[in-house]
Structure 1
């Protein structure tokens, strides 16, 4: 890595750390159907999610939707309001973020997989759900209209715009 790249990366992480945490339900275009029971994954890098299913899945190119329930993502949507091509409506999670990855399941003609953001307990001995939900209602309230919208209109996305949403959280 060059010194310029390293400095740019540090500056970008510094900017992300200054943005407020945003509780949200967002989307990715990757689902791991081999997962048979809930497991913890930690992201070694930034984890990009989008408010838009169409963006996160490249217009539902494959019928897979990762649903991220989080509390500490940094919403870049307002920062990218004047983007010259497309605002990816991105919510980014910082490196080292823990997620509980649940088994995939079918919903409304797509395969969905829920990722719940996890936080380390104060004593450092366990992980707790960052945004506990009592039911599926808050997820469905976001997922159903977003899925309808993604099916209703195809977005003109620049080549590679969705790539950051289509990779596994590892």
Structure 2
């Protein structure tokens, strides 16, 4: 995947958030975006994931299946964990039984079984982040984009995604 000469601003005459940005990410490559607050890291990730479109330039060869986990999981929705994940599996194009199996697998793998019936607003930030990761992985992504993936999760050693 490539971002070629990408520029972005949020308003027509607003300041440029990104300017003249070129990025190349190869298959199987892991990329970490570092920088101080306000320099456009989340904006860059949203462009890579297809959440935003560049004002100028282009994104080329983005995989068809992209898993996106935003920094702040939208936990204010009136769904249970199980209903949210099942619906997201169907949005991702998975047929009923395939979606149900993927949900069951990721719920088990991420330790979400005790929360299947919990409503999203009742979840801790860390548990909500796990639900966000599960929804991103229901359909195996060709590109997985995680914005602040460890935010709200226990320190390493207390939890492992494998």
Instruction: Tell me, yes or no, whether TM beats 0.5.
Output: no
TM-score of the pair, normalised by structure 2: 0.23
**Largest Rg, 1 or 2:** 2
The answer to which structure has the higher helix fraction is 2
Which one has more relative contact order, counting CA pairs under 8 Å at least 6 apart?
Answer: 1
